Amino acid sequence: MEAAKILTQLEKEDFRILSAIELGMKRSKYVKINDIRFYSRYPIEETLYRLKKVHKFDLIIRDSSGHDIAYTLNALAYDLLGLHALVRQNIISQLGPILGKGKESDVYSCIDDNENIYALKIYRMGRRSFKNIKNLRDLIGERSHLSWLYVNRLAAKKEYESLKEVYSLNLNTPKPIGYNRHMIVMEYLRGKELIYYKSIDDPEYIFDHIIDQVRIIFQEAGLVHGDLGEFNIVVDEQGNILIIDWLQSVKSDHPNSRYLLRRDIQNICDYFKNKFHIESNVDDIINSFLVR
C-alpha cells in the first residue's frame, strides 16, 4: 500500500496541514490557503512550506481557477490521516498485504505492537459507483456539500457500530478493535467467503448456524443485515460464522426491515438449495424469528 511507504516520510506538521484541509473540506470541496492557515494555526510561511511538501508527495490537488489558490485532499492523503491516527492510538503498528478488494472497500492485514493479527477495512465508496449513497441518507441528511471522504467516514462509523452490537452477542465473531475516519480494525477470522467454498463437509449445519446467527442478531440486537448473501458470510475451518459488510443494515423497527429480512433469508435459502440441495421454508424461518 503506497500510503504505508509515505507514512514514515511525513512529519507531524505535515499531518497538521492535511488535517487543516480536511477540516476546511466540511464547508467546500477546495480550501483556500488563508483558511488552511487559520485551521492549522501556522504562520503563512510555514503553511506555504508544508503545502509545497505534501503537494510534492501528490497528497493534495491544487485548484487555481478562481481568484484564490485552493487545495483539496485526495484518497491517498485520507488514507495517511487514518493510518497515522490508528498508529498514534496504538491500535496498529504495521500494515500487511491486501486480503481482498471489493466494490466499496479494500481489506488489508495488519498487526499491533504485540503482533496480534487484525484485518483493516478501508472504505472506497465512490470508486466505482454511487448507488449506496442512498443507504446513508438518514446519516447525511440533505447537506448541500458532501465530499466522498465524509461519505466513507460515515460508512465506516455505521459498520463499526453494527459490528460492536453483533460482537456483544457472543457469537464467536471477531472483535471490532477500533476505527478512524474511513478505516475499521477488527480481529482477523481465518476463513473465506461462503461463495468460494466448492464443497462443505456438513452444509446443513452451516446453513442452520447462519440462520441461527441471523435470528439472534435480529432478536437480541434488533438488526437486519439488508444485503445478506454468500459474498458476505465468512466461514472458518471450525464452522464459525462471520457476517460482514453491515453498511446497509437497518434496525428492526425500520419501515423496510421485514422486507429486507425476508430478502436476506431468501438469498441464503436459495443459495443452499441450489448448491447443496438443502430444502427450507422461508415463511417458517421468518415466523420463528418473530416468536420469542
142 pLDDT band, cuts 50/70/90, is low
pLDDT at 130: 47
Q: pTM for this structure?
A: 0.88
> Mean pLDDT across the chain, nearest whole number?
90
pLDDT at 209 over 90: yes
Place of cell 507531524: 12
Residue 186 neighbours by CB under 8 Å, 6+ apart: 118, 119, 121, 163, 174, 175, 176, 177
∠ Cα 61 66 67 (to 5°): 120
Q: Is 184 left (phi over 0), alpha (psi -120 to 50) or beta?
A: beta
pLDDT at 136: 56
Q: Report which secondary-structure segment, H or E, holds 210.
A: helix 203-216
Q: What are 178's three cell numbers?
A: 477500533
∠ Cα 168 169 172 (to 5°): 95
pLDDT at 239: 84
pLDDT at 229: 96
pLDDT at 214: 96
pLDDT at 144 over 60: no
Q: What is the CA radius of gyration of the chain?
A: 22
pLDDT in tens, 65-101: 878 999 999 999 999 999 999 999 999 999 999 998 8
Domain ranges of the chain: 2-76, 89-187, 191-290
DSSP state for residue 93 in the 8-state scheme: S
Name the superfamily (CATH) of residues 89-187: Phosphorylase Kinase; domain 1 (3.30.200.20)
What is the assigned CATH class of domain 2-76? mainly alpha
Residue 151 identity (one-letter amino acid): V
**Direct distance between the N- and C-terminal alpha carbons of the chain, in angstroms, rounded to an integer:** 48
- In this chain, the answer to whether the domains covering 2-76 and 89-187 adopt an identical fold is no
Quickly count: other Cβ atoms within 10 Å of residue 189's Cβ.
Answer: 17
d(CA 140, CA 287): 34
CATH 3.40.140.10 fits 191-290, yes or no: no
pLDDT in tens, 267-290: 999 999 999 999 999 999 999 998
> Which residues belong to the active site?
227
pLDDT at 141: 59
d(CA 41, CA 255): 47
Q: What are 260's three cell numbers?
A: 429486507
* 262, 282 Cβ separation under 8 angstroms: yes
